[in-house]
Chain A
Amino acid sequence: MDFRYLPMTREDEQAMLKTIGVESIEDLLADIPASVRDEGTLAEVGVPLPETDLVRTLSKLADRNMNTKQYPSFLGAGIYDHYAPSVVNHMLLRSEFYTAYTPYQPEISQGELQAIFEYQTMICELTGMDVANSSMYDGITALAEAALLAAAHTKKKTIVLSDGVHPEAHDVVRTYADGPGLKVETLCLEDGVTAIDNLDALDDVACVIVQYPNFFGRIEDLKILAEKTHEKGGLFIVSANPLSLGLLEAPGNLGADITIGDCQPFGIPQSFGGPTCGYFAVSKALMRKIPGRLVGQTVDEDGKRGFVLTLQAREQHIRRDKATSNICSNQALNALAASIAMSALGKRGMRELATRNLQTAHALKKMLKENGFRIIDDGPSFNEFVVELPVSATSANRQLLEKGIIGGLSLDVIDASRANQMLVCATELRTKEELEQFVTALGGLTHE
Chain B
Amino acid sequence: MNKDIEQTLIFEISKPGRIAYSLPLPTVEEEKAEDLIPASFLRSEDVNLPEVSELDLVRHYTALSNRNHGVDSGFYPLGSCTMKYNPKVNEDMARLPGFAHIHPLQPVESVQGALELMYDLQEKLAIITGMDEVTLQPAAGAHGEWTGLMLIKAYHHARGDFKRTKVLVPDSAHGTNPASASVAGFDTITVLSDERGLVDLEDLKKKVGEDTAALMLTNPNTLGLFESDIVEIAKAVHEAGGKLYYDGANSNAIMGIARPGDMGFDVVHLNLHKTFTGPHGGGGPGSGPVGVKKDLIPYLPKPIVRKEGDAFVLDYDRPESIGRVKPFYGNFGINVRAYSYIRTMGGEGLARVSKEAVLNANYMLARLKGAYDAPYDVHCKHEFVLSGRRQKALGVRTLDIAKRLLDFGYHPPTIYFPLNVEECIMIEPTETESKETLDAFCDAMLQIAKEVEETPDVVLNAPHTTVVKRMDETLAARKPVLRYHPKEEVHA
Contacts and interface: CB of A to CB of B under 8 A. Distances in A.
A321 to B, nearest CB: 4
Interface in B263-322: 263-264, 271, 273, 279-288, 301, 322
A137 interface: yes
Contacts of A293: 283
A347 B486 CA distance: 14
A278 B384 CA distance: 35
A31 B403 CA distance: 35
A1 B348 contact: yes
B91 interface: yes
A447 interface: no
Contact of B28 (A65, A176, A360): A360
B28 A435 contact: yes
Nearest to A321: B178
Nearest to A351: B46
Nearest to B177: A320
Contacts of A300: 468-472
B23 A117 contact: no
B476 interface: yes
Interface centre among A31, A45, A98, A350 (most CB of B within 10 A): A45
Interface stretch (A102-110, A196-204, A370-378): A102-110
B389 interface: no
Interface string A68-90: 11100101011101010101011
Contacts of A174: 323
Contacts of B285: 137, 274-275, 277, 329-334
Given A320-B175, A428-B23, A110 B359 contact: no
Interface stretch (B75-83, B201-209, B450-458): B75-83
B468 A65 contact: no
B301 to A, nearest CB: 8
Interface in A9-33: 12-13, 15-17, 19-22, 25, 27-33
Contacts of B113: 60-65
Nearest to B365: A20
Interface stretch (A156-164, A178-186, A228-236, A438-446): A178-186
Contacts of A448: none
Contacts of B359: 8, 13, 16-17, 20, 25, 28
A355 B24 contact: no
Nearest to A295: B482
Interface in A257-287: 269-275, 277, 287
A294 interface: yes
Contacts, number: 711
Contact of B33 (A59, A179, A247, A347): A247
Contact of B183 (A21, A148, A348): A148
A432 B182 CA distance: 52
A114 B67 contact: yes
Contacts of A179: 146, 150, 183-185
A93 B91 contact: yes
Given A105-B412, A272-B329, A110 B284 contact: no
B160 interface: no
B146 A326 contact: yes
Nearest to B350: A42
Contact of B178 (A103, A320, A380, A433): A320
The bracket for how many chain B residues form the interface is 35 or more
A332 B284 contact: yes
Contacts of A44: 127, 347
A332 B334 CA distance: 13
A1 B350 CA distance: 12
Contact of A272 (B104, B140, B348): B104
B49 A343 contact: yes
A107 B127 contact: no
Interface string B1-35: 00000110111001010111111101111110100
A417 interface: no
A442 to B, nearest CB: 16
A311 B333 CA distance: 31
A419 interface: no
Given A19-B367, A111-B67, A275-B333, A247 B42 contact: yes
B65 A97 contact: yes
Contact of B329 (A273, A319, A351): A273
Interface in A31-73: 31-33, 35-38, 40-49, 51, 54-55, 57-70, 73
B109 interface: yes
Nearest to B71: A99
Contact of B469 (A107, A139, A330, A347): A107
Given A274-B139, A380-B37, A326 B145 contact: yes
Given A7-B433, A326-B180, A332-B283, A61 B116 contact: yes
Give the 5 A-B CB pairs with smallest separation, nearest first: A273-B328, A62-B98, A273-B104, A333-B281, A64-B113
17 contacts: A51-B344, A85-B20, A87-B54, A108-B411, A112-B68, A116-B282, A141-B327, A166-B327, A269-B333, A272-B111, A274-B328, A275-B284, A308-B471, A319-B179, A343-B52, A358-B37, A380-B37
